[in-house]
Amino acid sequence: MQIFIAQQNYHIGNFTANTAKIIEAIQAAKKKQADLIVFSELAITGYPPRDFLEFEDFILKSEAALATIALQADTIGVLIGAPARNPDPTGKRLFNAAYLLYDKKIQAVQHKTLLPTYDVFDENRYFEQATTHEVMQFKGKKIAVTICEDIWNLGDNPLYRICPMDILTEQHPDFMVNLSASPFDYTHDEDRQAIIRANAIKYRIPVFYCNAVGSQTEIVFDGGSFVFDAEGNMVKKLPLFQEALEGTTILPDNQIVGPVQETADRLPLHEINPLTLEPELNISQIYQALVMGIKDYFAKMGFSKAIIGSSGGIDSAVTIALASAALGAQHVRSVLMPSPYSTEHSVDDAVKLSQNLNGPYDIIHIDKIYEAFLTELQPIFGDLPFSVAEENMQSRTRGNLLMGIANKLGYILLNTSNKSELATGYGTLYGDMAGGLGVLGDCYKLQVYALARYINREKEIIPQNILDKAPSAELRPGQKDSDSLPDYTVLDQILYQYIERRQGPTEIKTIQIPGADDALVDQTLKMVNRNEYKRNQFCPIIRVSPKAFGVGRRIPIVGEYLL
């Protein structure tokens, strides 16, 4: 039997485009004499559809698309994800379902059992848990069909009380197919391989795993679909961050045809993260995820041009380079806006960056605008000394100029704030925190430097001086980030323990991070919690870590904890 995996990039709610893409893959698989083609979780709607699922019209369109696709399933079986109605008046109105289509009709349906409700997932909000588990019969084979989370309940600390495969294995399936929409983070590819291998070994059957690819606002899906044989050997891996259609032969005795490939061998617990921040860890994958995140956000929103405030600092430089890779340098407009406190080398560095990328740039001096604000506010400010108010005024002036150009000329403003800044509130609301998409908001400062080095791996794109100089907002004479924040080599390690690993102050102090005394740990956690109100007003952030700011981290704005 020839089984094809269709690793595809869907557009949430774009039933016309999604259906056309799915049918194109079915036709291509037919030409290669495929018996069965597998698509990802909720492929027809795109994942995650969130509250679109509450609209009857949305479900009707999904059902119409499913019926259209079923007509293509004549000589080929199609396993595909879509919502299914719950006929029982009790419980949620929908299931997250996998449909087997063949002979131009629905042959079988399996509902998802384990509904993740943590981090970016909120499936229990919309879906009812499966109550029945039956293998699907197809061309003499018994297929155990699972959906994403259904295969993750292994390890020493399972999240759920049941494993769907423990039930299905009693029916002696020949192989398992898992339809997934498993988001990217820089630790997840290895964990994913390990969990699929663990399933193959535990249940002694081959596993065909189909994952989605593409970015959906803040969530990136990296693909990397797999086929494992019954001994836990990986015999096929589809590429990361690319659409792909690849076939595998399973023999009558359920042996898999294909060369054995290297695979991860550790069985992860749920949400295992490195014990400390490793800035270089999988930096090439982070780069690909960020490029895909920008590219898909623009394409799916119908935009093509980005505008970025270019300061001559590391964050804006990396953002400009990433956007240029995603959209083409000619579509990325850099705007340099020196203030009275900007250094000459910062302007020169920003110009050199744009020249290296062959991208357009403008220079707008904000001195007169800034002075006009000070003049108009002088009767109110009086003789009060220079403070953060004057600093923020420069940042908000830049934000206004960028948004004015964006509105006038049809650009999307990309935000350049990094995770270290967002964590500690080191940014200006409606100023440098403005934007339509946060590119680096899930990358600590140390990771931003690692990205810069990766971008420069073959030739100097980001001027070396930008990597070498001390980071500064340049909003007052001689300002350095270190005036307000601990050194990033210390700060980022504290933040990582608190945000990614959810360690409290006592645990963090026990770790004894070099350069971090007890008072600094307390001060840092206080900065994080008291600045939740800023992050709550921030734009969507491309998620690349196991715990990103945004929908996956829900902290009260008004709370007393650690303040």
Q: Which uninterrupted H or E stretch holds 379? A: helix 367-381
Q: Both tokens of residue 547?
A: 């715990």
pLDDT > 70 in the chain, percent: 98
Distance of alpha carbon 401 from alpha carbon 509, whole angstroms: 44
Taking residues 520-529, what's their average pLDDT? 97
Would 2-257 and 283-481+532-536 be classified into the same CATH topology? no
310 is in an annotated binding site: yes
- The per-residue b/e assignment along 517-540, b for 16 or more CB within 10 angstroms, e otherwise, is eeebbeebbebbbebbebbeebbb
Please answer whether residues 480 and 488 qualify as being in contact, where contact means their C-beta atoms are separated by less than 8 angstroms.
no
Q: Which residue has the higher pLDDT, 274 or 381?
A: 381
Please answer whether residues 207 and 176 qualify as being in contact, where contact means their C-beta atoms are separated by less than 8 angstroms.
yes
Around Cβ 63, how many Cβ atoms within 10 Å? Answer: 15
Range in 86-95, 162-171, 189-198, 516-525 with the lowest mean pLDDT: 189-198
pLDDT value of residue 269: 43
Residue that is written with structure tokens 């290669």 in the block: 32
With 0-12 / 13-18 / 19 or more C-beta atoms within 10 angstroms meaning exposed / middle / buried, residue 211 is: buried
Please answer whether residues 340 and 315 qualify as being in contact, where contact means their C-beta atoms are separated by less than 8 angstroms.
no
Please answer whether residues 500 and 432 qualify as being in contact, where contact means their C-beta atoms are separated by less than 8 angstroms.
no
Residues near 119 by beta carbon (within 8 Å), at least 6 away in sequence: 271, 546, 547, 552, 553
pLDDT value of residue 270: 44
- Return the CATH fold of 2-257: Nitrilase/N-carbamoyl-D-aminoacid amidohydrolase (3.60.110)
Q: Which residue has the higher pLDDT, 344 or 172?
A: 172
* Domains in the chain: boundaries: 2-257, 283-481+532-536
Report helix, strand or coil for 376: helix
* Phi, psi angle pair for 52, to nearest 5°: -55, -30
Taking residues 282-298, what's their average pLDDT? 98
Q: What is the pLDDT of residues 407-425, one digit of tens each?
A: 999 999 999 999 999 999 9
Range in 49-58, 478-487, 489-498 with the lowest mean pLDDT: 478-487
Tell me the DSSP string of 540-560.
PB---SSS-SBTTB---SS--
**Alpha-carbon separation of residue 221 from 145, 215, 241, 530 (angstroms):** 21, 6, 7, 32
pLDDT value of residue 263: 64
Taking residues 488-509, what's their average pLDDT? 97
421 is in an annotated binding site: yes
pLDDT > 90 in the chain, percent: 90
Distance of alpha carbon 239 from alpha carbon 225, whole angstroms: 7
pLDDT value of residue 265: 54
315 is in an annotated binding site: yes
353: nearest Cα among 405, 308, 288: 308
Q: Catalytic site residues?
A: 41, 112, 148
Taking residues 368-379, what's their average pLDDT? 96
Pinpoint the alpha helices (H) of 410-502.
Answer: 419-424, 445-455, 464-468, 488-499
Distance of alpha carbon 127 from alpha carbon 270, whole angstroms: 22
Beta strands 105-111; 136-138: pairing state: unpaired
Q: Report the mean per-residue pLDDT for the chain.
A: 95
pLDDT value of residue 264: 55
Taking residues 168-177, what's their average pLDDT? 98
Flag whether pLDDT at 32 surpasses 80: yes
Flag whether pLDDT at 222 surpasses 80: yes
Please answer whether residues 412 and 458 qualify as being in contact, where contact means their C-beta atoms are separated by less than 8 angstroms.
no
pLDDT value of residue 518: 96
316 is in an annotated binding site: yes
* Domain 283-481+532-536 CATH (choose: 3.30.590.10, 3.40.47.10, 3.20.10.10, 3.40.50.620): 3.40.50.620
Flag whether pLDDT at 393 surpasses 50: yes
Residue 61: pLDDT band (50, 70, 90) is very high
233 is in an annotated binding site: no
170 is in an annotated binding site: no
Distance of alpha carbon 215 from alpha carbon 181, whole angstroms: 11
